[in-house]
Structure 1
Amino acid sequence: MIKTTNILQDKFGREHTYLRISLTERCNLRCSYCMPEEGVQLSPKSHLMTYEEVYEIAKTFVDNGVTKIRLTGGEPFVRKDIPVVLEKLASLPVELSITSNAVIIDRFIDVLKANGIKKINVSLDSLDKNKFTHITRRNQFEKVYNNILLLVKEGFTVKVNAVLMKEFNEDEIIDFIELTKNLPVSIRFIEFMPFDGNKWDLSKMVSYKEIMEKVNQHFQADTIERLQDAPNDTAKNYKIKGYKGSFAIISSVTNPFCDSCNRLRLTANGQIKNCLFSSSESDLLTTLRNGDSIEPVIANAVHAKHKTRGGMDTLKKLQKPDLHSKNRSMITIGG
């Protein structure tokens, strides 16, 4: 059947070819910017997508033009049927990648390779063991760091995501970049973003401008290379001449990349979110379970997407707690 309309194109002409699927709301860490201190109300198991439902929904997106799927959580590897999920999704004509905190990823190296997954994003917000324990509320630094080294050794393309916060880890920017001297990894600094329960405050955020000021103060200007960003890239990419790896800045708050956004998110309980900042969701799972086509729901959700940051198109709006506190905690959206 020839499709006459593109359900993944929004009213601003953006085509959405990248789907991020959260496989679970559970996690074996408790990062403060991701999860409220008191925890979150988890969805009942019956409300979560089975692996068959993950596949069916993903297939509909791929049939309509999605070319890249990234699996997230929570922590995707705490899901017991993760090998089956990977095998099912790997059968689709799509680039498959995954984001993890890397605490237990060493157990799944063979599974990842068997299903053609080559790109791994790892969350690591500090190179200091005590700070890591403070931010994650768990003592797993050495495990995570050693697993990053293992992933590199095993030939995976590794990106390390660090959320920067004032008076916590902004003094580690150069340490992170120095990690790329001998390791072929990409360090990605992420501006602290507002979600329910994470006590976001603009004053806690380390901006793109502030990050680059630190970089320029430490490194000679002629050694800092601006790299070519990939199409639809969320990051501004750099490297230090002679270093094996690179670094990048994801400035969702101060320099949003909304004009070229091609991303949609599917939560573990089967809701489509058309923007990370949006508080609105559309229920795909109930529609699927009722035996109805999910394509009209997808089309309506994509069409309703705001031009910028879920409608928060100024920093002033972003600072209004009533606008972003209606959004989920990051743990239940999917990283």
Structure 2
Amino acid sequence: MTHNKNILQDSHGRDHAYLRISLIERCNLRCSYCMPEEGVPLSPKSHLMTYEEIYEIAKTFVKHGVTKIRLTGGEPLIRKDIPVILGKLATLPVELSITSNAVIIDKFMDVLKVNGVKKINISLDSLDREKFKHITRRDQFDIVYKNLLLLVEKDFHVKVNVVLMKGFNDNEIIDFINLTENLPISVRFIEFMPFDGNKWDMGKMVSYAEVMEYVNASFSKVQIERLQDAANDTSKNYKILGYKGSFAIISSVTNPFCDSCNRLRLTANGQLKNCLFSSTESDLLTTLREGKPIEPIIQKAVLAKLKIRGGMDTLEKLQEPKLHTNNRTMITIGG
């Protein structure tokens, strides 16, 4: 193996410049597609990365070509040292962003601004208070919606992530799109994906094609504008003519975007996942704590990345429970 080879390039020629770091496995909501109702066994605190370890690992990735870091969880803002983590990562030459459920984000507006965080993804699966309560098992809709408006007012670039589930919130697709009429946000409809404990089945999924059926039934062809997708984009982007915002569909199940994938994931307990769907992990934290270089482990993990969805390259394989129950629950991977 040559030493000058880019350690973040996989065997399919994909370069990985985007690292998603989960800061915590805990959350202040209990979304059913993310966490089983009975909860999940959490890693002991001593097994989680400290802020120094997060910084050291991130610094190594940046040295080898990572230009974008997104902080996730659980809910990253419930981690008590989040201001310190943001401050450390802000010293690196990266675009820093965060994914949050927005329940307590109003308390962090200043610390996000001061550390250059401009892009915020908000998870919001229903605009109906009772449905929100049902799916999150918490009655927090009003505060989340208020904080969404506050983020827009404070000039953050806001994306709203909506996991679609048939018979639950698919009748809200147009309501969400109409939210973009007066708000400069991007609403992103996400196909329901299989993870351990979330009772996934193909019948619950609302596909890209089905979302577009709703759109085409509500708007005329001349109103629906197909936008140019950014390089390495996971979503197919659209806009309704005259609306301030836009909407997009993330079709990980029916139209995977694996060919241009540039993402790696680091779990809160320091495991590197080369793909969201992969059931294998590489332990960076133990090696770091032993004072050994983590580059060889990173390179091996990246080279082992499979071409499509952790090897589930057909819908038939995706529907085979044993192929995705070896994976973590979504909350312990990081959104």
Q: TM-score range by the shorter chain?
A: over 0.9
Q: Secondary structure at the match of 1:222?
A: coil
* CA deviation map 1:186-225 (0-9, x unaligned): 0000000000000000000000000001100110110000
* Number of residues of Structure 1 aligned to a counterpart in Structure 2: 334
2:50 corresponds in structure 1 to 50
Q: Which position in structure 2 is the counterpart of 1:116?
A: 116
Alpha-carbon distance between aligned partners in 2 of 1:134 and 1:91, rounded to the nearest angstrom: 40
Task: Describe the superposition over 1:5-24 as per-residue Cα deviations: whole angstroms up to 9, x where unpaired.
Answer: 10000000000000000000
Alignment correspondent of 1:104: 104
In the other structure, the counterpart of 1:12 is 12
- 1:177 maps to amino acid: I
Partner amino acid, structure 1, of 2:93: P
Which residue is equivalent to 1:282? 282
CA drift of 1:4 comes to 1.0
* Structure 1 residue 173, shift from structure 2 partner: 0.2
Matches within 5 A, 1:207-218: 207-218=207-218
Counterpart for residue 201 of structure 2: 201
- Indicate the SS of the match to 2:193: coil
* 1:124-163 alignment, distance < 5 Å: 124-163=124-163
C-alpha distance in structure 2 between counterparts of 1:242 and 1:36, whole Å: 41
Structure-1 residue corresponding to 2:244: 244
Root-mean-square deviation (CA, aligned residues, Å) is 0.8
Q: What is the CA–CA distance in structure 2 between the aligned matches of 1:96 and 1:40, rounded to whole Å?
A: 28
Matched, 1:39 2:56: no
Secondary structure class of the residue paired with 2:296: helix
Counterparts of 1:184-195 in structure 2, within 5 Å, are: 184-195=184-195
Q: Which amino acid aligns with 1:29?
A: L
Q: Which runs of 5+ in 1 are unaligned?
A: none
Give the distance between the partners of 2:299 and 2:81, measured in 1 at CA.
30
Q: CA deviation at 1:81?
A: 0.2
* Cα distance in 2, alignment partners of residues 294 and 151 from structure 1: 37
Counterpart residue type for residue 275 of structure 2: C
Q: Which residue pairs with 2:331 in the alignment?
A: 331
Matched, 1:73 2:47: no
Quote the offset at 1:159 in angstroms.
Answer: 0.2
Alignment correspondent of 2:165: 165
Task: Give the whole-Å Cα distance in 2 for the aligned partners of 1:162 and 1:126.
Answer: 8
Aligned amino acid, residue 134 of structure 1: H
Distance 1:200 1:154 in 2: 37
With normalisation by structure 1, the TM-score equals: 0.99
Which residue in 2 is equivalent to 1:264?
264
Identity %: 78
Pairwise CA distance, 1:167:
0.7
Structure 1 CA distance, aligned partners of 2:319 and 2:3? 42
What letter is aligned with 1:24?
A: I
Gaps of 5+ in 2: none
Give the whole-Å Cα distance in 1 for the aligned partners of 2:33 and 2:178.
25
For residue 298 of structure 2, what is the amino acid of its counterpart?
A: I
Give 1:3 deviation, angstroms.
Answer: 6.2
Measure, in 2, the Cα distance between the counterparts of 1:255 and 1:67.
26
1:317 alignment partner, SS class = helix
1:62 maps to amino acid: V
Moved over 6 A (4+): none
1:279 Cα deviation after fit: 0.4
Equivalent-residue separation in structure 2 for 1:109 and 1:204 (angstroms): 36
Distance 2:4 2:302 in 1: 16
Aligned equivalents of 1:225, 1:200: Cα separation in 2: 32
- Alpha-carbon distance in 2 for matches of 1:28, 1:134: 14
2:177 alignment partner in structure 1: 177
* Matched residue, 2:320: 320
TM-score, structure 2 length as denominator?
0.99
